[in-house]
Structure 1
Amino acid sequence: MSNFFKRLTLKEDPSIYEDKDSHLARVLTVKDFLALGVGTIVSTSIFTLPGVVAAQHTGPSVVFSFIIAAIVAGLVAFAYAEMAAAMPFAGSAYSWINVMFGEFFGWVAGWALLAEYFIALAFVGSGLSANFRGLMAPLGVHFPNAIANTLGSNGGVLDLVAVVVIAAVAWLLSHGVSGAAKVENVLVVLKVLAILAFIVVGLTAIHVKNYFPFVPKYHLNSDGTAFGGWQGIYAGVSMIFLSYIGFDSIAANSAEAKNPGKTMPRGILGSLLIAVTLFIAVALVLVGMFNYSSYTNNAEPVGWALRQAGHPVVASVIQAIAVIGMFTALIGMMLAGSRLIYSFGRDGMLPKWLGKLNDKNLPNNALLVLSIVGIILGAVCPFSFLAQLISAGTLIAFMFVSLGIYPLRKREGKDIQDPDFKVPFYPVLPALGFLGSLVVFWGLDIQAKLYAGGWFAIGLIIYFAYGIRHSTLGKKSKKKK
């Protein structure tokens, strides 16, 4: 039994990862990572989530839910920043936990993140498709049900727009990170300008009475969920946290960062700070324009509020830019997801060809697999019931990374470089990051936890059937004996 546990906790030598990832070109700057982070975190949810959460759980106190979720995400982001500065390897949490706690725990953390990338990619592709078709409808362009909906949904066979969009982003990334980063930078600026335009125009239509009572009295909704009071705010945190988890996609690309010791902390913490500010501002303006109950079952609260306030042209322009801006989230998720799958192949946890680089030193085999799975999920399979699985998987990875700071500190300046950035108020903040993630995870609904359990069961089968027998770490250990 002790030998079996030793096998599961075999730790990778960080110098091995440095050597394996040395062929990846270090071309990304702070500006690129800020765009990547903001583009991934500030996705479609900023135009929908503030209204949805206010109507379902919080009323005007949705702002508190955003702030609490941001504090938890910020605590974890500090840990991510130190990890990425000390170990700028592809695969982020998977590679770090492999070095800190051992192969099995690294696989669990990586497998958790993979759920986020697969499903988030499908979500954004499908969401972009729905919004694009909504924009085309007033122009008289209507898609037949067969190519507008997912399989078995309203006569659908596949979502053609989602297929084309995911394939287009994959094609862009297959030609290099630098070119994709330039596209990302432009689109993020457009998206932020659209959000600022909403805030400025919305401020002219605010009615102070809509902010009272700021924290409505607690009661249960008809579906048994909480509304009002601290219970409603807590329920809102679990829904909102999904919006902030995109900063881990920055860390997955740290092997391609220029001067990662400075670039990674600035990119991770800076993008989260920008995103949190925008989310809180949009939430405050939205609940101030109309009573929160107006946003019940409203799929596009920002556009609806602008039209009701007499700004239909601004609403259309913002919705159009929002659709274009969704490409930024796709670029971020596909970059991060492909680097994670590359890391699995690099270490022999999945077939080796996934860890191969092409003649331009790009992991295009991993990108191809990610794209195919994303297309299948986003174009063919109804998947809305899996929404919280993204949060569940990522929160587990967040807990590992927060705890990983403790063994990391003991090794910094020894076999791991001493990074320029370190988590402040050590050892308290990493513990708070772990506890905060655990509390948010506890607040997810039972279905999310069950689906997460099913996903991990699949991961365990793959690990024990394939990964543990083919891993390069395991083979290296046998040779030493």
Structure 2
Amino acid sequence: MNDPRTDAGELAAYGYRQELKRTLSPWAVFAIGFATISPVVGIYAVVQLGFVFAGPAWIWAVVVAALGQLLVATVYAELSSQFPMTGGVYQWVRRLGGPRLGWLTGWIYLASAIASLTTVAYLGASWLHMLFSDGALSPAAHVLLGVVFIAVALGINLLGVNPVKHFLNAGIIAEGVASLAISVILLVFVRNNGFGILFETLGAENASGGSVLAGFLTCLAVAGWAFLGFDATTQVAEETERPRRSVPRALLRAYLFVAFTVLLTGAAVTLSLRRPGDAVAGETADPVFAAVTQGLGDWSAKPFVLLVLIAFVACAISIQTYIGRAVFAFARDRQLPFSRTLATVGARQIPYVSLIATAALAALGLLLGLNGNAAATLISFGSGGFYFVFLTVAVVALTARLRGRWNPAAGQLRLGGTGLVINVLAVVWLLFEAVNIAWPRAQLAPVGGSWVQVWAVILVFSVLFALGLVYVAVAKPHTKLAGNPAQEEVKVP
């Protein structure tokens, strides 16, 4: 019999055996969270689009998104402090909002997470190409390099937890040099613009019909991508030592460190760029790369590309790590087709089948890249799904809190009345940002795209939600759970 005072004993109180290897230290959990949110991946994914739609003032959209997501991260930290189980949002919503809603939330979460892996691989493929070639990258070659990117990240994950930790540590070092060190150098020695430029648009509103507000909202929709992934720490709770304490702390520390780094890098690039108007006009394809090479010299190009590439690989590894665990948690509860196979844990005590399956699906998503530049579309897909999940979790947590079904004080992170205020503000923020991201915008669709591509986010997730409802109605996965989770006691074992 498991001692309830141990990590395995607490897990057994929720009906699960200790199958995964519990070897992650607080630092390792922080590394997973940091690498998944990734300031490098976040900033390079949104900076070009930010300049195009809001000009140098794009940085304020990042500030708003960072503050809004900090509210959400705090709610997640409270939940993770009380439910130290792999599965994260699926487990929380299942227990606080009922098994059907838990399944639907987990379903959208998995689709969004796989889309985020596809996005990181697609963006990372560009840097992989830049390391070896200065020529143009065709859509077919872009997709192929993206597949290579995913295959490498999968191979490292299949080696086990310890190799993953080493690669993530390398990623953090690369991120520190590529973001913090270079940003400080740019701010101190290579500043070409005064601080007043941070309040200018330089005509970027022309891309939004002349409306500064419309351009800012479009930029804010894209900026939301920079602050996804902090929940990765919750997916490795069953592999973490003292998860009630370690997971929420790692989540918040990783988020705050990344948010600071993203804002510092964004400001440094904007202030040091020699011709910011070229970035607004779209003539500077990569403002960050331009700012670094202009400021440090052409010699810095390849070393900088290598640092960024390492950060992208670390991000892909981390995303695969948490997606594999999320699928494992779903399959362990017999919530998916082929659940018995997907829940298989290998000799290295990792859910290797889930890792392989999700990598294959992410690679299929790269086919979107055959239609020219798919970055904006992929970012919208990933962001749209995640913000729907964020909103669902925040609403369920608030409802359970107000109805007395959830007592946050039972966890180790105790915010008292402040937690309720934060929860309410998080719901307000997410209602706004979810609508803002899903809003159909022609400027975020591929050039010359049809109405289907303009409405792609709403259409795709509507179809996914409808498929989920059909599956719940036909397969009735909630009846396969042990007991009735909707009636479980929501308290610490």
Q: TM-score range by the shorter chain?
A: 0.7 to 0.9
Residue 437 (structure 1) aligned with residue 420 (structure 2): no
- 1:395-416 residue CA offsets vs partner (Å, 9 max, x unmatched): 1211222233342684567xx9
Which secondary structure state, in structure 1, belongs to the residue aligned with residue 419 of structure 2? coil
Residues in 1 aligned to 2:21 and 2:318: alpha-carbon distance in whole angstroms? 17
Residue 361 (structure 1) aligned with residue 349 (structure 2): yes
Equivalent residue for 1:316? 302
Q: Contact between 2:52 and 2:207, CA under 8 Å: does it hold in 1? A: no
Residues in 2 aligned to 1:185 and 1:310: alpha-carbon distance in whole angstroms? 26
Alignment-mate amino acid for residue 28 of structure 1: L
Q: Contact between 1:97 and 1:105, CA under 8 Å: does it hold in 2? A: yes
1:176-325 → structure 2 map (5 Å cutoff) = 176-203=160-187, 204-209=189-194, 211-212=196-197, 214-216=199-201, 220-224=205-209, 226=211, 228=212, 230-290=213-273, 291-296=275-280, 297=282, 298-309=284-295, 311-325=297-311
Percent identity over paired residues = 20
Equivalent residue for 1:59? 55
Equivalent residue for 2:127? 131
Q: Contact between 1:94 and 1:110, CA under 8 Å: does it hold in 2? A: yes
Deviation at 1:136, TM superposition (A): 0.7
Which secondary structure state, in structure 1, belongs to the residue aligned with residue 69 of structure 2? helix
Do the aligned partners of residues 441 and 224 (structure 1) sit closer, same or farther apart at CA in structure 2, a change above 3 Å counting? farther
Q: Contact between 2:153 and 2:313, CA under 8 Å: does it hold in 1? A: yes
Equivalent residue for 2:396? 404
Deviation at 1:306, TM superposition (A): 2.5
Q: Contact between 1:117 and 1:337, CA under 8 Å: does it hold in 2? A: yes
Q: Contact between 2:84 and 2:237, CA under 8 Å: does it hold in 1? A: yes
Deviation at 1:370, TM superposition (A): 0.6
Do the aligned partners of residues 190 and 222 (structure 1) sit closer, same or farther apart at CA in structure 2, a change above 3 Å counting? closer
Q: Contact between 2:26 and 2:250, CA under 8 Å: does it hold in 1? A: yes
- 1:1-29 residue CA offsets vs partner (Å, 9 max, x unmatched): xxxxxxxxxxxxx9778332522222212
Residue 92 (structure 1) aligned with residue 67 (structure 2): no
Which of 341, 349, 366 is equivalent to 1:378?
Answer: 366
Q: Contact between 1:85 and 1:265, CA under 8 Å: does it hold in 2? A: yes
Do the aligned partners of residues 148 and 470 (structure 1) sit closer, same or farther apart at CA in structure 2, a change above 3 Å counting? farther
Residues in 2 aligned to 1:431 and 1:276: alpha-carbon distance in whole angstroms? 22
Q: Contact between 1:210 and 1:289, CA under 8 Å: does it hold in 2? A: no
Equivalent residue for 1:112? 108
| Normalised TM-score (structure 1) | 0.84
Q: Contact between 2:46 and 2:225, CA under 8 Å: does it hold in 1? A: no
Which deviates more from structure 2 when the two are superposed, residues 244-253 or residues 200-209? 200-209
Equivalent residue for 2:43? 46
Do the aligned partners of residues 64 and 430 (structure 1) sit closer, same or farther apart at CA in structure 2, a change above 3 Å counting? same
Which of 462, 466, 470 is equivalent to 2:475?
Answer: 466
Deviation at 1:207, TM superposition (A): 2.8
Residues in 2 aligned to 1:323 and 1:295: alpha-carbon distance in whole angstroms? 22
Alignment-mate amino acid for residue 216 of structure 2: I
- 1:65-107 residue CA offsets vs partner (Å, 9 max, x unmatched): 1111011111010111111110011111011100111111111
Deviation at 1:210, TM superposition (A): 6.6
Query: Runs ≥4 in structure 1, deviation > 6 angstroms?
Result: 14-17, 474-477
Which deviates more from structure 2 when the two are superposed, residues 17-26 or residues 190-199? 17-26
Residue 333 (structure 1) aligned with residue 319 (structure 2): yes
Equivalent residue for 2:443? none
Deviation at 1:467, TM superposition (A): 4.5
- 1:275-317 residue CA offsets vs partner (Å, 9 max, x unmatched): 1111111111111123532213233211112233352222331
Do the aligned partners of residues 48 and 100 (structure 1) sit closer, same or farther apart at CA in structure 2, a change above 3 Å counting? closer
Residues in 1 aligned to 2:435 and 2:266: alpha-carbon distance in whole angstroms? 25
Q: Which runs of 5+ in 2 are unaligned?
A: 1-9, 441-454, 487-493
Residue 70 (structure 1) aligned with residue 69 (structure 2): no
Equivalent residue for 2:466? 457
Do the aligned partners of residues 352 and 48 (structure 1) sit closer, same or farther apart at CA in structure 2, a change above 3 Å counting? closer
Do the aligned partners of residues 436 and 225 (structure 1) sit closer, same or farther apart at CA in structure 2, a change above 3 Å counting? farther
Residue 19 (structure 1) aligned with residue 15 (structure 2): yes
Deviation at 1:147, TM superposition (A): 6.0
Deviation at 1:219, TM superposition (A): 8.0
Do the aligned partners of residues 74 and 213 (structure 1) sit closer, same or farther apart at CA in structure 2, a change above 3 Å counting? closer
- 1:413-433 residue CA offsets vs partner (Å, 9 max, x unmatched): 7xx992110345032110111
Alignment-mate amino acid for residue 71 of structure 1: L
Q: Contact between 1:334 and 1:367, CA under 8 Å: does it hold in 2? A: yes
Q: Contact between 1:210 and 1:292, CA under 8 Å: does it hold in 2? A: no
Alignment-mate amino acid for residue 62 of structure 1: W
Residues in 2 aligned to 1:327 and 1:380: alpha-carbon distance in whole angstroms? 21
Residues in 2 aligned to 1:352 and 1:243: alpha-carbon distance in whole angstroms? 32
Which of 347, 352, 359 is equivalent to 2:339?
Answer: 352
Residues in 1 aligned to 2:151 and 2:204: alpha-carbon distance in whole angstroms? 46
What is the Cα-based RMSD across aligned positions, in Å? 2.9
Q: Contact between 2:244 and 2:411, CA under 8 Å: does it hold in 1? A: yes
Which secondary structure state, in structure 1, belongs to the residue aligned with residue 414 of structure 2? coil
| Normalised TM-score (structure 2) | 0.83
Do the aligned partners of residues 215 and 299 (structure 1) sit closer, same or farther apart at CA in structure 2, a change above 3 Å counting? closer
Which secondary structure state, in structure 1, belongs to the residue aligned with residue 159 of structure 2? coil
Do the aligned partners of residues 355 and 48 (structure 1) sit closer, same or farther apart at CA in structure 2, a change above 3 Å counting? closer
- 1:125-150 residue CA offsets vs partner (Å, 9 max, x unmatched): 22222211122114x9x98x696144
Deviation at 1:437, TM superposition (A): 0.9
Equivalent residue for 2:412? 420
